[in-house]
Structure 1
């Protein structure tokens, strides 16, 4: 009877946290899909330009994710102790770090966008279009980083519904302004790819206004004053960085590795880049459950460790990994079977681009089970347990020692089609799972950082 009660408590908490996060990610991924659908009508050059330009944002977003993922370890464990004073201090550090990194990325994208685009491709039309997009969308980077810090903190204190609602508002705003400004509807100027950038910027401004209002209007646990958010001493900051720096380094170099994948794919040609953008957009819809599970796992495992219930933390980890694996198998089959039908929604695709994208989706479907397992393993179990150094070494090693070399060998040496290159690159997921599973079983990842 006690076991049944514990299981009920587990699933109740899991759905309460994972469902809003999954819906929030679904909203975000749907937004990216609508963006791509709208831009598809502008041609392969525009699809490739937005895809490559967003790799720069992806690099920044993953660094911000690393900062906030590291912070969420502390916030989740402090929430287990109901220590709101220290939660506000951690949130303040996350905001400062995300904002500071955002200033750097904004400056580079605003003043030197051509250099960023030329890092990926030498095709003049793609460089020109991507530069126009970057100059505008870069103004949203700092806002996005700060908004992200508040959203992750809300999830970590089991208030995932607010970020979900705010993402819904952002989704509607972005979709409406994209439609108005890309195509010049209802008297708005027809701006093409620049219209997509303005739509994103407007949506990010609306998003941060609503999230700040939600937090400070009810004076909840995160509604800290400037003094409360910055009330650190040297010992607190040192303790924070000792645990979070591996996560920040991990996400920085993992995202840089993924940027290098994009460079390798771009060497194959404009069509390959466009196919990667389309296939990734569709795959992200299928990965929303993975992100929901991983973030919920971080919170629940962290809460249990913070409450000194280590046996329960291990039990939770095993359950989450099983759910992630079975979900990955189920979703992989669906992705494989529906790829052709989904691609028909993208009007204007050439036959060649359609078939290339379909083959890429088949590769993604095969590896989806490993992706979902690894997402929960690294973000949920290892980081939630405070084992940030091992997770850093595991992820960085898999990307830089396996994935990146194989990407450039496939693209430049063997000159394989882009879907075969992606297939060999994805072997890094198999390596990651093979090394990570024994670590979970050893229980060495369970560490109380508070």
Structure 2
């Protein structure tokens, strides 16, 4: 594992992840601002389309996510060759799944737009965005799969530097293509699509080069045909619950955005603007949760169960402090910040009405994210899958329709359902962690195999 000679702590892993995610969030903000110069209708199309893209990306990168957990565990236990093989299979499978999804979006853009309840007036814009940005979605999946593998080796800086370059390139190309610089025609939303594909292709090329040198033995092109049945079965064992978890999230997010689309274009635009601002509230908290998952998996592989147990609480506490401070800032200045995106006072009013609810939503997300990631890192993925499928279906979807549509509460009702769903799942994963079922089993197994003094050292710490 190429992490240097000293121990790598939580903050050393977290800050590059934060910079990478922050830049991605900033890119989304710049995209939203630029698209808002086209029209609020274009913003509504981008908002609901990106929700679909994010959901599908999470779905077909699930295999890579499971592989990432096993990569960290194998490196923690000193089995570098196994980690290398797992990484190769994780990237290869994600690439194949990504290409299939992209082809479906490219060919069936119009039916998908109708399924999302996009109005007839917005259909031409939706066709452009779903066809071309959706057609290049496999590049997003490749970026996620490669980045996951690289980060789980302990190298979080490489994906960060790549993210910086991709963001700069995308912003520059956006400006050129949208507004027709250097003699090019003004392409509007089509320019966003072209810029997306070019910048993502560049990012995949850089990450692929980095990935090939991420392990002790360099990965060559022919190695992507690698297949080890036993290791593949292990990836499937940890990944299929993650996949069903992602599926539940996909369905719930699409359903809620369809409900928002039923409320009207202004509500959908307001949610898109506010979602952009909300993303800044938990960016650093999310980075802390991701870094905590990497450390937890490494330490679990090294059989350091007490450090694993204590570290998850520290991750949660740090994340809650950061998220709480950020969401308070949004609550105080949200009205002014929404004015940067649109001058439509009705859209701003809708967004402002949701600011207080964020004081509950974002901390609930952080609790669920930190403790859920910790459970996934030690392989307890079936529990998070089960509670997610039940809660997202009954509370997320059912509650959103009942309160948002049937009861006429609109976006407020949908937000109330989102809060309840996140908080319930967060409390359940916290209770599961406190019971230490998997950790106690691992400690008992280790005690029967070797004395405590012979535990391997992972080179990572929770400090």
- Give me the TM-score of the superposition, normalised by structure 1: 0.92
Query: Relative to 1, partners in 2 of residues 1:333 and 1:189: Cα closer, same or farther, differing over 3 Å?
Result: same
- Give me the TM-score of the superposition, normalised by structure 2: 0.90
**Residue of structure 2 in register with 1:180 after alignment:** 176
The one of 398, 405, 409 equivalent to 1:405 is: 398
**Residue of structure 1 in register with 2:119 after alignment:** 123
1:386 is paired with a residue whose SS is coil
1:279 Cα deviation from its structure 2 partner = 0.9
Deviations 1:392-439 (A, max 9, x none): 112222211211101111232112232332223321112112222111
Q: How does 1:264-343 map to 2 (within 5 A)?
A: 264-343=259-338
Query: Matched residues in 2 for 1:178 and 1:133: separation?
Result: 14
**Residue of structure 2 in register with 1:249 after alignment:** 244
1:357 aligns to 2:351 (yes or no): yes
1:30 Cα deviation from its structure 2 partner = 0.5
Query: Matched residues in 2 for 1:57 and 1:185: separation?
Result: 28
Deviations 1:176-212 (A, max 9, x none): 1111111112322211111111111111011112222
On the 8 A contact 1:411/1:418 being kept in 2, the answer is yes
On the 8 A contact 1:339/1:361 being kept in 2, the answer is yes
Query: Relative to 1, partners in 2 of residues 1:39 and 1:86: Cα closer, same or farther, differing over 3 Å?
Result: same
**Residue of structure 2 in register with 1:110 after alignment:** 106
On the 8 A contact 2:289/2:316 being kept in 1, the answer is no
On the 8 A contact 1:178/1:195 being kept in 2, the answer is yes
**Residue of structure 2 in register with 1:100 after alignment:** 96
**Residue of structure 2 in register with 1:225 after alignment:** 220
Query: Relative to 1, partners in 2 of residues 1:18 and 1:256: Cα closer, same or farther, differing over 3 Å?
Result: same
RMSD: 2.0
Query: Matched residues in 2 for 1:425 and 1:292: separation?
Result: 21
User: Which deviates more, 327-336 or 274-283?
Assistant: 327-336
1:349 is paired with a residue whose SS is coil
Query: Relative to 1, partners in 2 of residues 1:222 and 1:163: Cα closer, same or farther, differing over 3 Å?
Result: farther
On the 8 A contact 1:267/1:411 being kept in 2, the answer is no
On the 8 A contact 1:90/1:229 being kept in 2, the answer is no
On the 8 A contact 1:261/1:404 being kept in 2, the answer is yes
1:92 is paired with a residue whose SS is helix
1:229 Cα deviation from its structure 2 partner = 4.2
1:258 Cα deviation from its structure 2 partner = 0.9
Number of residue pairs the alignment of both structures matches: 438
Query: Relative to 1, partners in 2 of residues 1:88 and 1:228: Cα closer, same or farther, differing over 3 Å?
Result: farther
The one of 76, 83, 87 equivalent to 2:83 is: 87
User: Which deviates more, 129-138 or 360-369?
Assistant: 360-369
The one of 27, 33, 37 equivalent to 2:33 is: 37
Query: Matched residues in 2 for 1:415 and 1:222: separation?
Result: 60
1:374 Cα deviation from its structure 2 partner = 1.0
Deviations 1:120-165 (A, max 9, x none): 1241122220111111112322222122211111111110000000
Query: Gaps (5+ residues) in structure 1?
Result: 1-8
Query: Matched residues in 1 for 2:63 and 2:19: separation?
Result: 23
1:80 Cα deviation from its structure 2 partner = 0.6
Deviations 1:345-391 (A, max 9, x none): 21x43000011112223322332111111111112x11112111011
User: Which deviates more, 285-294 or 260-269?
Assistant: 285-294
1:341 Cα deviation from its structure 2 partner = 2.3
Query: Relative to 1, partners in 2 of residues 1:159 and 1:131: Cα closer, same or farther, differing over 3 Å?
Result: same
Deviations 1:227-266 (A, max 9, x none): 5444333222222211211112211221221111111111
User: Which deviates more, 387-396 or 326-335?
Assistant: 326-335
User: Which deviates more, 128-137 or 21-30?
Assistant: 128-137
The one of 253, 258, 278 equivalent to 1:258 is: 253
Deviations 1:71-112 (A, max 9, x none): 111011011123221122212221222122212221121111
Query: Matched residues in 2 for 1:100 and 1:231: separation?
Result: 14
On the 8 A contact 2:361/2:418 being kept in 1, the answer is no
